[in-house]
Amino acid sequence: MPRCRSALFLLPALVSTFAPVLAAQAPLAYHGVRLPKAFFAGNRARLMARAKAMGPGSLVVVKSMPLQPSSGDGEHLYRQDSDFYYLTGVEEEHAVALLDADKGTYTLLVQASDPRREIYDGPRLGVEGAKARGADEAAVFPAAEKTLNEALAKAKRIVLIDNFDETFRTKVLDVAYPKGAATWKGDYEKSLVDGRPIVAEMRLIKQPCEIDMIQHAVDVSIEGHLAAMRGSASFTNEGQVAAALEGTVRALGARFLAYETIAGAGSNGCVLHYPFNDQPILPGSLILMDASGEVGYYTSDITRTWPASGTFSPEQRALYDLVLKAQEAGLQEVRPGRLHEASIRAAARVVSDGLVDLGLIKGEKEAAFKRGDWNKFLPHGISHYLGLDVHDVGSYGAPSEFHRHGGMRPLEAGMVLTMEPGIYIPKGMEGVDAKWQGIGIRIEDVILVTPEGCRNLSARLPRKAEEVEKVVRSGAKLRK
């Protein structure tokens, strides 16, 4: 796979532009940073090679993400589909990429210029812009319909990524498989192939420049977490915690959040995807924040849990140390050739055994683990892939080795995944002493599988209980 240039070459100019804002934080600043054209060209070439290997007449058809309406005449902020982005680098809506595997050509079909709309949305790529982004040929709609129809008619095999755009999918199928007896020649003339799993496998193993981008996203997210932790001694509402992270990551160049911020205090930390972030922070409560920015379309996924006051209570501390121990146990199992499942089981086992030690689970350890009693306290997955999407694509199974590996996939260098055990004891949980209730803890880091083992890309953000307390207290001191 081609080693592509890091986007870091853009940094000096950016840092000087934002120097006044970022005086305390330099050199982090990733406004507008994108991967180079060669990266997208390399991805197209690899996909075209796969399509060509399927036989002559293969055409890859990739549709951009449709606009998502919100309410009234509003729309959600447009973010390109990750597959489309990975193959084109194009951020514009209403675009279709055609890869002709026989000829090795890339044709980009884009929306026509519309002066009225461009007053609102800014300039459109047009034919010139499409070619400047690496297209061999380009056309604008509606004239581009003809280019599309001809390519579809000629193709023997259509490798389709339609982004759940039903209108587009129907159109492709109508052209590819015309209805009516006159066209029926006793057999299908074309085959249709789902392109998504092919691109998913490509995206699963990250190229060096992608790892750099994920690191950028992680780095700005670390700054966001630090800002929220440092501010929390004076925060009185979850909204301020979320705002501290979101303001920071955006100031450092994250156009998008990697996902909606989860900032829950006390029992709200037990709601896994807590969406409200608007409740008071009561004295003595923990704050669980699962939040990250996205840089140049690459995500991060980090969770920290800290005491709002700067000091864990004994119960909070006992559970916190257990979650951290579970995460460490999981990380020990992350290396090439080991099953992904092994790391997940190792983390879960530590949680289960620890809960027995604390008296929260009754009985003998081995039996308790097998019964899955721990699931009540840890009801979510402990690890997932990460990349252009926060829950990134790629199969977790290995069908050809299903039996040997128990259905789980051996890890490979270049995979990026999270490790995120937690323990959640909401207020009112049955059969649990009141002193444990209202505690939700998760610790989550972004992990790169390396040839030797793994590297924690978010290790710079403190995780040990004393270190976390120190960060929170340092913020309290600053304001005195």
Stretch that binds Mn ion, among 79-87, 371-379, 416-424, 465-473 (CB under 5 A): 416-424
Residue number with the smallest Cβ distance to Mn ion:
301
329: nearest Cα among 419, 231, 450: 419
Residue 384 annotated as catalytic: yes
Whether 237 and 281 have beta carbons less than 8 Å apart is answered as: yes
Read off the amino acid at residue 59: L
Q: Which of 3, 273, 404, 460 is catalytic?
A: 273
Indicate the residue among 110 and 416 with the shorter CB distance to Mn ion: 416
162: nearest Cα among 280, 83, 259, 239: 83
Q: Which of 444, 445, 463, 469 is catalytic?
A: 444
Stretch that binds Mn ion, among 92-100, 144-152, 300-308, 449-457 (CB under 5 A): 300-308
Indicate the residue among 88 and 303 with the shorter CB distance to Mn ion: 303
* CB of residue 452 to Mn ion, shortest distance in Å: 24
Stretch that binds Mn ion, among 183-191, 320-328, 360-368, 414-422 (CB under 5 A): 414-422
Indicate the residue among 210 and 301 with the shorter CB distance to Mn ion: 301
* CB of residue 420 to Mn ion, shortest distance in Å: 5
Strand-pairing partners, residue 417, are: 385, 447
Whether 136 and 100 have beta carbons less than 8 Å apart is answered as: no
Indicate the residue among 165 and 301 with the shorter CB distance to Mn ion: 301
333: nearest Cα among 350, 315, 346, 316: 346
**Residue from 22, 418, 429, 461 binding Mn ion (CB under 5 A):** 418
Residue ranges in 82-143 assigned as alpha helix (H): 82-88, 115-121, 126-132
Stretch that binds Mn ion, among 66-74, 89-97, 135-143, 412-420 (CB under 5 A): 412-420
Whether 191 and 273 have beta carbons less than 8 Å apart is answered as: no
76: nearest Cα among 87, 84, 65: 65
Sign of the Cα pseudo-torsion (223, 225, 229, 235, in order):
positive
* CB of residue 291 to Mn ion, shortest distance in Å: 11
Residue 81 annotated as catalytic: no
Indicate the residue among 107 and 418 with the shorter CB distance to Mn ion: 418
Residue 225 annotated as catalytic: no
Q: Which of 117, 391, 404, 460 is catalytic?
A: 391
In three-state secondary structure terms, 174 is helix
Neighbours of 292 (CB within 10 A): 30
301 makes contact with Mn ion (CB under 5 A): yes
* CB of residue 418 to Mn ion, shortest distance in Å: 4
**What token pair was written down for 81?**
């589909």
Q: Which of 73, 128, 430, 466 is catalytic?
A: 73
CB neighbours of 159 closer than 8 A, spacing ≥ 6? Answer: 47, 51, 54, 58, 59, 60, 61, 193, 194, 195, 198
Stretch that binds Mn ion, among 337-345, 370-378, 403-411, 418-426 (CB under 5 A): 418-426
Catalytic residues: 73, 273, 290, 301, 380, 384, 391, 420, 424, 442, 444
Positions touching Mn ion (CB under 5 A) are 301, 418
